[in-house]
Structure 1
């Protein structure tokens, strides 16, 4: 059961949209949710993904989201024995909203020079995935991006990506960095060029990797009203 958030501004509007924004409408709140969609994180890990948020602001947003029942804090067992933040079941219900918002926002030209964060990139892959382009493809991928690993599975027109070690059951291994993967998928960098420069390494089924990179077509830019 969620708790009422106190001492915060409210739209004082009974509409469900307004009530939802009372909970997740503050600056950085939805991006905190974005950073937790792929699993729990420590405070320091959250700061890496939200480097534009000050420590005080991030702490405040986490407290508010905890009070609202969107996020909870728990201690991991040994050997980690660290405190992490994770989404509650109610918080995870925000995933379709973030996916739809990400797809809508992808049509807005990029003006920031800041590099896309790792979790933001993985979620962008899920957001921009085109089931029609994946017709006939069944493959699993071990994505090794920096120090992180993800298991990506494409089957039956669906893409699932989870953080973790695939345990040797991947058809292909892709080892690269955030910038290179983003440039290949969304920037038009040829896969062969990335491999040739050493920025990307492929193990296993190369053809499956080539198919994977073509599953995320960009949407046309937002329409501009005639002046």
Structure 2
């Protein structure tokens, strides 16, 4: 449990004391993608001081949110407990809520593989996912492969090299491959159409066509 106490007997207070210390939610965000070693978490959160990372991991363990377990060929990893995984719909809802206030990125803001994965999960609309889509997305040095089918989204990290506990998708070429940047949010919010996004170089289609990109915008949308 974090040292800070609000001194109130309330479920919201308890939640705030457990998960709202600086960096705690981002650690939880990354662990929602999958188990991570200490080094994976440190690399995915490059601005976090190592003493703060160690402290947050200890607090989250003591709060029953995460646990540390051995995995063959990986060593010790951190993963969410069942109690911690109950945070997933809350974190995704927070992501959708925060999307409306993101604005333009600062010069030193970065996109990580885990943050992009969670952004896709935040914007994913399973109610429109009866049709399939296999796509690959590049944002600067980050590259992900994703597949939509049967109302589900699966994402794996291609670059930078994925953690050893990452998932694997079936092989073959994706039907859509595109490169983009932070302005992708305009496409996801619907303030740019796919055709406008391509024309304005917000999206560069590397493989596939505009029809596939239009299907992407049907599957991934967050109100601005």
Please classify the TM superposition score into its range, dividing by the shorter chain length: 0.7 to 0.9
Provide TM-score, normalisation by structure 2. Answer: 0.74
Match of 1:190 in 2: 198
Runs of at least 5 residues in structure 2 that lack an aligned partner in the other structure = 157-166
Q: 1:182 and 1:117, CA in 2 relative to 1: closer, same or farther beyond 3 A?
A: same
| RMSD, matched Cα | 3.1
Runs of at least 5 residues in structure 1 that lack an aligned partner in the other structure = 221-227
Equivalent position to 1:9, from 4, 10, 14: 4
Matched, 1:44 2:39: yes
Provide the C-alpha distance between the structure 2 equivalents of 1:128 and 1:148, rounded to a whole number of angstroms. Answer: 17
CA contact (8 A) 1:142 1:166 kept: no
Size of the aligned set, in residue pairs, is 202
Shift of 1:144: 6.3
| Partner SS state of residue 22, structure 1 | helix
CA contact (8 A) 1:139 1:171 kept: no
1:1-227 matches, within 5 Å, as 5=1, 8-78=3-73, 81-110=74-103, 112-113=105-106, 114-130=109-125, 134=128, 137-143=130-136, 145=138, 149-155=144-150, 158-163=151-156, 164-168=167-171, 172-175=174-177, 180=180, 182-184=182-184, 186=186, 188=192, 189-190=197-198, 201-202=206-207, 207-220=211-224
Q: Which has the larger radius of gyration?
A: 1
Provide the C-alpha distance between the structure 2 equivalents of 1:206 and 1:98, rounded to a whole number of angstroms. Answer: 31
Shift of 1:13: 1.7
Moved runs in structure 1, 4+ residues, more than 6 A? Answer: none
| Partner SS state of residue 69, structure 2 | strand
| Partner SS state of residue 41, structure 1 | coil
